[in-house]
Amino acid sequence: MSEGKPACRSCGQTDLMNFLSLGRTPLANSLPAKEDLGKPEATYPLDVAFCPHCALVQITETVPAEVLFKEYLYFSSFSDTVLQNAREVVERLIPRRHLNSKSLVIEVASNDGYLLQYYQQYGVPVLGIEPAVNIAKVANEHGISTMAEFFGEELAQKLKKEGIQADIVHANNVLAHVSNLNSFVAGIECILKDGGMAVIESPYVKDLIDRGEFDTIYHEHLCYYSLTSLTYLFERHNLVILDVEHIPIHGGTLRVFVGKKGFAKPGPAVEELMAEEATWGANRLEFYQDFAQKVEALKKDLVGLLKGLKASGKRIAAYGAAAKGCTLLTYFGIGQETIDFVVDRSTYKQGRYMPGTHLPILPPAKLLEVQPDYVLMLSWNFAEEIMRQQAEYRARGGQFIIPVPNLKVV
């Protein structure tokens, strides 16, 4: 292997092909407190590459997980959409997999117990594994048994020796965050019972490319998956994708149902999507190369719109202290000269500041108090939910600017 070249996070090859650079950005979920504003803020390169051997799209910089996740401010339960998605899949799986009081469901990166609570309501035993100490504490306080640990093969072997194996393993929006992919997937294989099923959700790379969702690229999101790249990854660890669903959450997500080889076979949905991906070129660099031009076009359009509004005396706020908001504001160079403040529903983020731009994060009630003319929707993946919640702001004449997938004012 060539020294100095980044290796593919899945297959280990070192001839990755870069196709997008977003420059240096701060850590998207590192929201400084007021006393931190005068301190230096670390930034890291944000470059995106394609692996021609296993089709995995990935960033090339790895920020240590301890820096990113030991103290974390994203709580899943603040999103009604996330809760509804979790409840629906639980209520489907319990009868389909015949789960009962003798079963065990494990969720890796279980956050505040947002999903496991629904199993618990039906009397199914659960175990959460959550690396962020502050979030694991909240989950335990809510009665969801949760270990504050990073998950990988070593922890999985330890649990297996203690007789802990799962009928269902959930891993929602975590596979993109894992730096040691092979240890993580080997761990899933280890803690899964022979006839068990892993249910894994991760944003779909085709939606990211087609819809110009560049702002979902940040240092926590190390990888961007197609079914093709997931298949290569799981096969390496004696796992097979049994079924797949393309669901709308988070701007477009693949939900895959995975079992151990020898216990089940891929269904027709897997074969159909694999054939589709071969057609549009999931395993070819050419499909990804036009992405940078799409990003630059959006930058020109959005910055031009905001400058025009400011020049005509309009007041602009933003909604969503989301990680994607940090990427968009930083790369597009939008800051305090344009945006007055950011609002967010999460009480854990209120009172802090956006990385880089240091825009203050306030409660959503501030929109009615100040009534800015426009609100830039940074959490566009929850646009419908947020606009329902902000019906009064809109009734008073306030408008939302939704930047992705297509720039529009509503």
Q: Cα angle at 209 between 288 and 242, to 5 degrees?
A: 95
Write out pLDDT tens, residues 232-283: 999 999 999 999 999 887 778 999 999 999 987 899 999 999 999 999 999 9
CB 367 within 8 A of CB 317: yes
Q: Report d(CA 166, CA 341) in Å as an integer.
A: 45
Q: Which of 80-94, 106-120, 219-233, 292-306 has the lowest mean pLDDT?
A: 80-94
Write out pLDDT tens, residues 112-129: 999 999 999 999 999 999
Q: Which of 63-77, 250-264, 287-301, 304-318 has the lowest mean pLDDT?
A: 63-77
Give the model's pLDDT for residue 1: 36
CB 219 within 8 A of CB 68: yes
Q: Report d(CA 382, CA 395) in Å as an integer.
A: 19
Residue 181's Cβ-count burial label (10 Å; 0-12, 13-18, 19+) is buried
Give the model's pLDDT for residue 70: 54
Check residues 9 and 73 and name the one with the higher pLDDT: 9
Instruction: Give mean pLDDT, residues 37-42.
Output: 90
What is the 8-class DSSP label of residue 355? Answer: T
Write out pLDDT tens, residues 134-176: 889 999 999 999 999 999 999 999 999 999 999 999 999 899 9
Write out pLDDT tens, residues 3-19: 468 999 999 999 999 99
What is the 3-state composition of the chain as percent helix, strand, coil, each rounded to the nearest 5?
A: 40, 20, 40
Catalogue all structural domains in the chain, each as residue range(s) with its CATH number. Answer: 151-289 (3.40.50.150), 293-409 (3.40.50.720)
Q: Report d(CA 18, CA 15) in Å as an integer.
A: 10
For residue 405, say if its preceding peptide bond is cis, omega within 30 degrees of 0: yes
Q: Cα angle at 18 between 13 and 21, to 5 degrees?
A: 140
Please give the helix or strand (H or E) that residue 356 lies within, else none. none
Percent of the chain with pLDDT over 70: 96
Q: Report d(CA 155, CA 354) in Å as an integer.
A: 34
